Amino acid sequence: MNREIIDRIINEILQEKLKGKDGHICCKDGVCSDNLCVVHNKEGVRNIVGNGATRITASVGIEAAGGVESDLAGMIDHTLLKPDASKSEIEKLCGEAKKYGFASVCINPSYVPLCAKLLKGTDVKVCTVIGFPLGATSTASKAFETEQAIREGAQEVDMVMNVGMLKSGEYDYVEHDIFAVVSTARRYRVLSKVILETGFLTDEEKIKACVLAKRAGADFVKTSTGFGKGGATMGDIALMRKVVGSTMGVKASGGVRSREDALAMVASGADRIGASASVKIVSGETAEATKGY
Amino acid sequence: MNREIIDRIINEILQEKLKGKDGHICCKDGVCSDNLCVVHNKEGVRNIVGNGATRITASVGIEAAGGVESDLAGMIDHTLLKPDASKSEIEKLCGEAKKYGFASVCINPSYVPLCAKLLKGTDVKVCTVIGFPLGATSTASKAFETEQAIREGAQEVDMVMNVGMLKSGEYDYVEHDIFAVVSTARRYRVLSKVILETGFLTDEEKIKACVLAKRAGADFVKTSTGFGKGGATMGDIALMRKVVGSTMGVKASGGVRSREDALAMVASGADRIGASASVKIVSGETAEATKGY
């Protein structure tokens, strides 16, 4: 990717960010300047729904219409990714997802067949992770892992970007790495999300990463793995939404532990939440099985 | 794998452990009871060397002969696995490995081609990680990742066992998962190590994991990824050495930060050390590039 183009985009966005007001950051004076707003660009929303994102329930500003509170569960990927999670914990996770109507369960690839079996015939999707959590395996392996997971029943894939290559200025590598997963997923009409691991990135790198994910055709950008530095912040969500516009999804993950956290992320522009404390978020109960990651 | 066999092995080993003395734990009263000792079973050592482990430089008791101090560098996998490691940091790592004569550089798969190029014609091996660090991807993906890494230049592979499946009692799954990587590596005469992630395991689970790794034909067992709970301990190394015997290697990794740490691991039975503080371990210098993981 041409560095001049990236520099121009970064400058534009950072200037915009500096000028920005609190609140509905993709509009200025109530008018959308660049068709990036889900409130004012319903066509864009229809496009992403048409591309396979069937649960675009909210975005910047949507919460004002009262739609979020009633469908918070439907925005949550109910997540259990710790390496020592047992089959019985995964079974409990799937049971909770069905009970509360979460968007998906997000689990490691070796549990995809089990979850696909347990969730067959329900609206809860099976979401898995690719190149997780370091994002530093080979591109060919990420593509293979994607196809294997889909064949075993995965309906959404959250892949980790190669952070080290981004930091090395290898933008073509990063874009191709993302594209290898996205294009594999798309062949099967499976949704793809790109985890940026924002805690390792400067604002400029976050913008570059969003631009690369968008160019590669991903459906979502996502903040964090939950295993690295930091987690989702309102500032990062707003920045990511600003860069990718309304035709892509933004998933907030890492450290989202309460209803207040989740609603703050939605208010900042997230339309998907990754959480292990999902039961607590929607009901106030604490789910034993989902403590930890 | 038959549960009765596992239970019998565990009982035998735990009883042995309870009876054991400090020091050279695989011998009792100066006589090896079961041919598990590298000091008294030189044939076993020759076997593993013949199988591709060319740097079995020490094991239990060897340090007494003064061989370790002179070849500590040759036992160390110089490691940089953090996800944001840049190409320039990897280049520095390879330079240090050549300068100090480390056994290998241990890096993420996406840096295998770079390291293979930088280390061509040297004695420093390229070691990479498989299913890392969670060990929870699919078996097929681990096998593919192994072959891909080897084709790109990897000469040793450190794979992570599926901890969740072990905890679920799925021993056949775990053994097959290890075997898929080991058999792929062996086809190319590449050394394989199995990371148990001991910090998540009970003593019984550590023994089961060692038995499964041995049955699957792995060359080494290894304690930790450095990303999960805990790290290498002297007790774990001694236990692992006791279970796998002298015909397999034992690699201590995770939290080995000083020369004293490294020598303690060797005294406990390790014949390979994974460390990022390798330069400090062998020279007392602090290497800027290798701070962190």
Identify whether B251 is a catalytic site residue: yes
Q: Is A73-283 in CATH node 3.20.20.70?
A: yes
Residuewise pLDDT in 10s, chain B (293 residues)? 556 766 677 666 656 655 544 433 344 444 444 443 434 444 443 444 344 343 333 333 333 344 566 689 999 999 999 999 999 999 999 999 999 999 999 999 999 999 999 999 999 999 999 999 999 999 999 999 999 999 999 999 999 999 999 999 999 999 999 999 999 999 999 999 999 999 999 999 999 999 999 999 999 999 999 999 999 999 999 999 999 999 999 999 999 999 999 999 999 999 999 999 999 999 877 655 444 44
- CB–CB contact A200 B109 (8 Å): no
Which residue is closest to A147 within chain B, CA to CA?
B141
Task: Write the CB contacts of B252 (distance below 8 Å, at least 6 apart in sequence).
Answer: B222, B223, B232, B237, B262, B265, B268, B270, B272, B273, B274
Whether A10 shows a pLDDT value over 80: the answer reads: no
Which of B141, B176, B195, B208 would best serve as a mutation to test chain A binding (most A beta carbons within 10 A)? B141
Q: What percent of chain A has pLDDT over 90?
A: 72
Of A125, A193, A206, A251, the active-site residue reads A251
Locate the chain A residue with the closest alpha carbon to B170: A87
Q: What is the pLDDT of residue A71?
A: 87
Model pLDDT, residue A35: 42
Residue A160's closest chain B neighbor by CA?
B83
Instruction: Give residue A54's pLDDT band: very low, low, confident or very high (50, 70, 90).
Output: very low
Determine which of B81, B89, B126, B137 to mutate to test the interface with A (most A C-beta atoms within 10 Å).
Answer: B137
In chain B, beta strands by DSSP E = 76-80, 104-107, 125-130, 156-160, 191-195, 220-222, 249-253, 272-275
How does pLDDT run across A128-170, given as a tens digit for each residue? 999 999 999 999 999 999 999 999 999 999 999 999 999 999 9
Residue B143 CA to residue B133 CA, distance in Å, equals 15
The question of whether A28 is a catalytic residue gets the answer no
Check whether A74 has a pLDDT greater than 60: yes
Closest residue in chain A to residue B174, using alpha carbons only: A110
* Contact call for B148 and A136, based on CB within 8 A: no
Q: Is the pLDDT of residue A251 over 70?
A: yes
Q: Which of A142, A193, A206, A222 is catalytic?
A: A222
Mutate which of B87, B110, B173 to disrupt the A interface (most A C-beta within 10 Å)?
A: B110
How does pLDDT run across A183-196, given as a tens digit for each residue?
999 999 999 999 99
What is residue A30's predicted lDDT score, i.e. its pLDDT? 42
Per-residue confidence (pLDDT) for residue A42, from 0 to 100: 40
Average pLDDT over chain A reads: 84
Active site residue B158: yes
- pLDDT at residue A246 above 60? yes
Domain range summary for chain B, segments of one domain joined by +: 3-50, 73-283
Nearest to B140 among A133, A148, A162 (CB): A148
Please give the pLDDT value at position A208.
97
